Amino acid sequence: MTVSTAIRPAPDEYLSYFDRYIALVPESEAISALEHQAEIMFALLRGMDEAQGALRYAPGKWSIKQVLGHLADAERVFAYRALRFGRGDTAPLAGFDENDYAAMGQFDQQSLGDLVDQLDVVRKSTIALLRGFDAEAWTRRGEANGHAVSVRALAFIIAGHGYHHTGILKERYLNAGAVGAPRP
């Protein structure tokens, strides 16, 4: 890996929709961003018990287990895109519907511990993949869901997406207002 090319992407390397995620990443280098974000996320997740996995911050919202399944699914999709584009594959890739994936994932039937472990393995795999990219791979671009995106933008999107959902878990789920949460 060449740190000089695994840096924060320029705005023309991704769809502006993803600014909201990339802006959450305080690190300037992709691998350290993913590693630091994982430390924060797994410190929170490993402190939860099984009952918390069923919490929803409002009726009709995803459970914590569904959020974890979504994080793993989305990271897999983004990492797959990075693999394809990093290897020079120029075939356009389709988008995915996160709500359909969450509905089909049956995450509420899985244990919280298994979902945390699965997400941990996915993150380690993502980091291992990205560590193998050379300078040219980091700057390659491809088309996903009808929009151009670079490999380094995908790495920052993954980290920012993790920061985004970790924040939501802290703010909306792990408080007395969450549906099913114990009240003080």
- Three-state SS sequence of the chain: CCHHHCECCCHHHCCHHHHHHHCCCCCCEHHHHHHHHHHHHHHHHCCCCHHHHHCECCCCCCCHHHHHHHHHHHHHHHHHHHHHHHCCCCCCECCCCHHHHHHHCCHHHCCHHHHHHHHHHHHHHHHHHHHCCCHHHHHCEEEECCEEEEHHHHHHHHHHHHHHHHHHHHHHHCCCCCECCCCC
pLDDT at residue 182, rounded to an integer: 42
CATH of domain 3-173: 1.20.120.450
pLDDT at residue 175, rounded to an integer: 79
Residue 3 in this model has a pLDDT that exceeds 70: no
Minimum mean pLDDT among 2-6, 88-92, 108-112: which range? 2-6
Local confidence band at 177 (pLDDT 50, 70, 90 cut-offs): low
pLDDT at residue 179, rounded to an integer: 58
